[in-house]
Amino acid sequence: MPKTAVLSCLLLLSLAFAESQKRKSLPAAPPLPEAPAAFDNLSNGMVDDATHQADQLKFDSIETVADGLGPLYNGQSCRECHQNPTSGGASQITVLRVGHLGPDHRFQNPNIPINRGTEIITGRTLVNDRAICPSAAFPATDIQERVPDSETVRTTRISLNLLGDGLIEAVADQTLIDLSRKQCQSTHGKVCGLVIYVPIVEATGQAAVGRFGWKNQHASLLSFSGDAYLNEMGITTQLFPDEVTKLCNNAPEPNDTAGPDGLADMDRFARFVRASKAPPRDTALAATPAAQTGSALFDKAGCAVCHVATLATAPAGLKINGGAYTIPPALGGKTFHPFGDFLLHDVGTGDGIVIPTVEHYGRAARRMPRECSPDNFQRTQNRVRTAPLWGLRLRTRLMHDGASLTLRDAILRHAGEATQSAHSFRSLPPRDQEALLQFLRSL
């Protein structure tokens, strides 16, 4: 080898060595601060406590027919379905969703007759349990929804916890995409969380990775709030201006309008959830030897592949939700512990329901962003979002349908992608099974 070539190689090697030593000498990045966690009804710092408590009053307030309640509805306040152990938490309330399979065996939304068959409700899978008429003003109008026998796909879905959801909203799309890829690679394709892009209703034509609702039908808490306000309470907004039915409806439209400060109730609901603290752990129970042993067994059984203990939010100041929302300092660059991956999985309990676009996106469904693949929406049929386990110790009904009443029953119902984890639990001796359950009771 020529002398000049040898010298060049030596120079390159010395430069590479110097660079590697330089990198080794750099201090490690400091850990991200922990997001606050408590059931104390106080703000996480996004707003002051007085503002947060005023927003909670709106979240808790009772809607009336004069406010625009109905005509079809399930509850009269947000708190009715989100209350345990405090406003914004989970509950035992379930809703009914139905549909049927078409000739091509693809899921189709139901046709629900009301008012003795004079009107058919379409474009949604939710069946409301309550209605504002017949009433004194409309004694001959019966809009109670009744499910025809032809709607053979049926399921209940339990209300979700909202506390700490501001952190989930602030997780970067790429974080969830990378998590899905890592799952698939580490399990050799046995566990692969599905990522779907969904419309941002307040940012026309924009989409983001879904993470809210049992089907991950929303990425934005404002979109989610407007959806629930219409479909669970019948209150129309600027984002969701169209009533499900106009029968026996006399309230001015939209029902929810901005006040002197420029905020509508829907905006306050979203701000309340964003400013809520994450569910805390029972630290005393978590410190016991049994719970610590159970934590290791939980990981060893593969449960932590989907029930991911720790996530981090994107930096403060980043614009998300199609540019409609900027991550505030209270939520940006934080570590939190949801024990969930916010991806869709087939764990053998899928409800057979596909995301109904008109119900969840209203007029935005007519101009779906190109990222929102109809085929991906069909793939949600037998998949549900991994249930985040934070706050688990306060829940008495488990799984997406609320049909499991004990932790053991919920674990043993897991199949599909979770078959191996359920088998691992069954194979544990009774003492180790109890240790794993003790760990879950600490969450």
Q: Tell me the mean pLDDT per 10 residues along the chain, length 443.
A: 48 50 60 97 98 99 98 98 97 98 95 97 97 96 98 98 99 99 97 97 96 98 99 98 96 96 98 99 98 99 98 99 98 99 97 96 84 88 98 97 98 98 98 99 99
Contact predicate 279/161, CB 8 Å: yes
Contact predicate 199/366, CB 8 Å: no
- Which amino acid is residue 430, in one-letter code? P
* Rounded CA separation 261/264 (Å): 9
Judged on CB neighbours under 10 Å (0-12, 13-18, 19+), 131 is buried
Angle in degrees, 0-180, between the axes of helices 221-233 and 265-274, rounded to the nearest 10 = 130
What pLDDT is recorded for position 5?
A: 47
What pLDDT is recorded for position 7?
A: 43
Query: H or E stretch including 101?
Result: strand 94-101
What pLDDT is recorded for position 2?
A: 55
> 126-127 and 319-320: which strand pairing?
unpaired
CA torsion sign for 82, 163, 401, 116 is positive
What pLDDT is recorded for position 15?
A: 47
What pLDDT is recorded for position 24?
A: 52
Which among 163, 167, 165 is positioned nearest to 84, based on CA atoms?
A: 163
What is the model's pTM?
0.93
Contact predicate 263/270, CB 8 Å: no
What pLDDT is recorded for position 364?
A: 74
Q: Which residues contact 397 (CB under 8 A, 6 or more apart)?
A: 92, 94, 158, 403, 404, 405
Which among 30, 45, 33, 47 is positioned nearest to 334, based on CA atoms?
A: 33
Which among 429, 403, 284 is positioned nearest to 349, based on CA atoms?
A: 403
Three-class DSSP category at 9: helix
Phi, psi of 406 (to 5 degrees): -135, 155
Quickly list DSSP for 262-327: S--HHHHHHHHHHTBPBPPP-HHHHTSHHHHHHHHHHHHTTGGGTS-S-EEPPPTT-EEGGGTEE-
Name the token pair of 99: 């549909």
What pLDDT is recorded for position 367?
A: 82
List 114's β-bridge partners, or say none: 119
Three-class DSSP category at 365: helix
Query: Cα–Cα–Cα angle for 230, 232, 233, nearest 5°?
Result: 65
Q: Which residues contact 93 (CB under 8 A, 6 or more apart)?
A: 75, 80, 81, 158, 159
